[in-house]
Structure 1
């Protein structure tokens, strides 16, 4: 009986080898089966989900090309594109190495204990053949013989450790499936019929993997049922890749996987049932990135219908895709039974205070924040809080207000809006007009005025009235000293000023980012200060003092007027006037006033 025919080779094939662990170098061989004459290739300048031009080509070196034994001339066209002076339809092989020394989830990492990469950092894009079938061979060396590999790509021929050949239907899928390599912990569970895998690198011996799997399973089942009821998820399997480090936090979503970073201390520990703040934050991150499987990876801005990997891809809708996901990440923890009402309201309180203590909310709209992510959110500096507002935090409060406004009117809620958007946009590109149409269809009226005020202006959100209408009371509290003075600082033997907030007492006194606040003079008595609380300790009932500040090798005496201790009142129309003032930012607390009303919202 004749043997079955061998499968046709992929049009584009990559072999990736952890080549030099101590030099942090991956070696890549790219085979283009049918190149065109003067074939062009490029490395992406950014990775979808992280809106900053990161110039991945800066890490690429030793690029060479050949056809058979013949070397092929390469011409660099710009910062990330090359052209091969090759013959058409004869296999072209390009070899190069990439330095992988970024511990984040956005690029690539390689050392003696672990490897990780996104395809946007390692895989050259073959122009004109992006829609062709791509294969990826994850290779091993003698130094990594004990390693395993995990990825969301579909396997073609792999060993028990996950090393070997994988396939992607096109370039987009290839670079949307990162790879984890090393000696990692792994566990599995099923959520609503879908197999899920969790791999963790760097965990301490006390790590309780069973608890992490059980809690993550609850999150996944809650999310799938949120979108589909008893229907099917839009992926056949899902992979969580978590890197536990000494101190870190972050995540990046992908179509059927996510890459995560957390501090080791935030992982659940064996024989410990208490849920600490760090573990709650990790569960919120897991929930956030998983929710993105629907909201941004599939239901996505119309501008992202096809990614342009060469330049910025602008949209005003990140307040929806990141902000609304930020609203639902903690809400789904509550619905999954992983936190209670009090913890959930504590998390909402934190978000509200973050926004209220950002003077930039009176300068930049959340739509502008979305559009400017490429130059502002991902390039923060000392003035960022004064000039910008986060589309994550304020976007989540827009979602909160919209949900509570819909629930107050009694015809629908934001859950139904999200599911209807998914259906009507067929889990694909959407616009703000699509959202407005669904809101009108389900609620019976236009929400154009609300979105104009909440998204496209700096008008304060009506948090007080909407929360109270849904059973939650909001109370103004006395801010901490950093907020009262209008500062963001580091405290280590002295007070290092990182940011001076617009309109606050510190700005009026002449303090500046980079200053070192050494001490204070109160009525002729000098006191050393190492923490902001020392100001309260030594100032007593005084309303002004002299701050002793070091700047550029000089000692300055700055007259500082201390703010009032009483909390700022909140209005029913919003949290504050939209006009910047010298009043310290508001700090609020939430509490349950009507348990039944809160239950209808949170359950």
Structure 2
């Protein structure tokens, strides 16, 4: 069983050869205007027309195409031909496209951990909420430059293109960071947590894992050692089950001020982790963490056959997703118990019945 799983994971694991970026993005956040961010795309064309689109997430399509503003192309014209698609006419050759993403008003209460936000202390950017993709060139490698306030740090699953420095480069009052992705799907599958971050690292199975936490300015202190140790124990038990990982590095992107739900990605996860809850119990968000982490294997590396590839069209509900969710509920509960995490339900049956009932 383990050998079969390892083979499936090995064939699904992404490889990141040194690719020359064909499409270049610059995303800029201006600390004097946190209503959104600006994006500049640069690439070359062989025709005088092309189309850009905003990707639809297969489970949580937030339709952020509604918030795209000021779309323009140097020396050409733009026409919106669909809700999430723009057609451009410009002389073939080097092309520069500009647009702005204006964030919607914040909803009352705790936010969803996968939705972007900006505050003076940081926020969540990137992913399908930020980056258009060039239709017909989805397989081309891309480069991303982030221009951010000088005191902000960055955490993301994207490949870092400016190592060995983990501090970015200070230039013209902004801190500049460089990242790369092997294709458009990898780019939009990688949320980017920015701001005043706390970070820890551990190694499991010769693979580096980062735990990154964005606290509110009014965060409640909690036991960070116990918090990180709980995550590490879950990762250890997951490796014991599967034998290997479908990624080369993994980043847990955890946020104060978001409710304790999450969204899985191929080598990262966005999770809500309210500091007030962690102060009462440093393992408060471990059940959701185990669930989303298990999805890295069961849903992403090994995915339902009906799953669609990168698209601007919303994916209809698929039956395979329910099987994947059910299997994940079962194994996430098992991994927590193997990790020695205390659960409040009296038995596994009671715990699983409650989880299934919540769906």
Q: TM-score category by the smaller chain?
A: 0.7 to 0.9
1:205 and 1:322, CA in 2 relative to 1: closer, same or farther beyond 3 A? same
- Greater CA radius of gyration, 1 or 2? 1
More strand by share: 2
The aligned runs of 1:287-366 (5 Å cut-off) are: 287-304=290-307, 306-339=309-342, 343=344, 345=346, 348-353=349-354
- Deviation at residue 41 of structure 1 after TM alignment: 0.5
Cα shift at 1:8: 8.0
Larger displacement relative to structure 2 (206-215 or 129-138): 206-215
Equivalent of 1:200 in 213, 226, 230: 213
Per-residue CA deviations over 1:527-557 (Å, capped at 9, x if unaligned) read xxxxxxxxxxxxxxxxxxxxxxxxxxxxxxx
Q: CA deviation at 1:22?
A: 4.4
Pick one of 51, 55, 68 that aligns with 1:60.
68
The alignment status of 1:235 with 2:244, answered yes or no, reads: no
Instruction: Write the deviation string for residues 141-181 of structure 1: whole angstroms up to 9, x where unpaired.
Output: xxx21110111111112543255111111001111111010
The answer as to whether partners of 2:221 and 2:275 remain within 8 angstroms in 1 is: no
1:167 corresponding residue in structure 2: 180
Q: Kindly report which structure 2 residues correspond to 1:141-220, keeping only aligned pairs within 5 A, or say none.
A: 144-157=149-162, 159-162=165-168, 163-202=176-215, 204=219, 206-220=221-235
Q: Which position in structure 2 is the counterpart of 1:250?
A: 261
CA distance in 2, matches of 1:14, 1:334: 44
Q: Paired residue for 1:83?
A: 87
Quote the residue 2:50 is aligned against. Answer: 39
Residues 280/32 of structure 1: CA separation in 2 closer, same or farther (3 Å cut):
same
The answer to whether the aligner puts 1:119 opposite 2:127 as a matched pair is yes
Q: Indicate conservation of the 8 Å contact 2:35/2:103, yes or no.
A: yes
Counterpart Cα distance in 2 of 1:206 and 1:53: 34
The aligned runs of 1:400-479 (5 Å cut-off) are none
Q: Conserved in 1, the CA contact under 8 Å of 2:113 and 2:259?
A: no
Match of residue 363 from structure 1: none
1:354 CA displacement: 6.8
What is the match of residue 96 of structure 1?
99
Counting matched residue pairs gives 327
Structure number with the bigger relative contact order (C-alpha 8 A, sep ≥ 6) is: 2
Q: Give the 3 Å change call, closer, same or farther, for CA 312–72 of structure 1 in structure 2.
A: same
SS where residue 271 of structure 2 aligns?
strand
Q: Distance in 1 between matches of 2:60 and 2:208?
A: 33
State the TM-score, normalized to the length of structure 2.
0.84
Say whether the 8 Å CA contact 1:35–1:92 is kept in structure 2. no
| Structure 1 contact 133–167 (Cα < 8 Å) conserved | yes
Q: Report how far residue 323 of structure 1 moved.
A: 2.0
8 Å Cα contact 2:213-2:254 kept in structure 1: yes
Q: Could you tell me how far apart the structure 2 residues matched to 1:354 and 1:10 are?
A: 44
Give the superposition deviation at 1:54: 2.5
Segment of structure 1 superposing worse, 177-186 or 102-111: 102-111
Map 1:498-513 to 2 at 5 A: none
Change (3 A) 1:222 1:242: same
Flag the 1:128–1:265 CA change in 2: closer, same or farther, 3 A. Answer: same
**Partner Cα distance (2:287, 2:146) in 1:** 32
* Distance (whole Å) between structure 2 residues aligned to residue 355 and residue 338 of structure 1: 20
Residue 355 to residue 184, structure 1, CA distance change in 2 (3 Å): closer
Residue 37 of structure 1 deviates from its aligned partner by 2.3
Counterpart of 2:173? none
Deviation string, structure 1 residues 328-362 (Cα, Å, up to 9, x no partner): 2122110111227xx45457425525766xxxxxx
* Secondary structure at the counterpart of residue 296 of structure 1: coil
- What does residue 137 of structure 1 align with? 145
Structure 2 vs 1, CA of residues 323 and 35 (structure 1 numbering), >3 Å: closer, same or farther? Answer: farther
Counterpart secondary structure, 2:247: coil
Give 2:114's aligned residue.
106
1: CA distance between counterparts of 2:318 and 2:215?
36
Instruction: Please identify, of 99-108 and 123-132, the stretch whose mean Cα deviation from structure 2 is larger.
Output: 99-108
Query: What do you get for the CA RMSD once the two structures are aligned?
Result: 2.3
Please list the CA deviations of residues 247-279 of structure 1 after superposition, one character each: whole Å capped at 9, or x if unmatched: 62210000011010122222156xxxxxx4xx5
- Residue 300 of structure 1 and its aligned partner are, at CA, apart by 0.5
For 1:33, what is the secondary structure of its paired residue?
Answer: strand
Please list every run of 5 or more consecutive structure 2 residues that lacks an aligned counterpart in the other structure: 1-17, 169-175
Q: SS where residue 350 of structure 2 aligns?
A: helix
Q: Residues 238 and 344 (structure 1 numbering): CA distance in 2 closer, same or farther, change over 3 Å?
A: farther
Distance in 1 between residues matched to 2:209 and 2:354, nearest whole Å:
36
Q: For 1:177 and 1:33, how far apart are their aligned partners in 2? A: 24
What is the rounded CA distance, in whole Å, between the counterparts of 1:21 and 1:98 in structure 2? 15
SS of structure 2 residue aligned to 1:91: strand
SS at match of 1:139: strand
Q: Distance in 2 between matches of 1:248 and 1:148?
A: 23
SS across alignment from 2:82? coil
> Is residue 35–residue 91 contact of structure 1 (8 Å, CA) maintained in 2?
no
Contact 2:230 2:283 in 1 (8 A): no
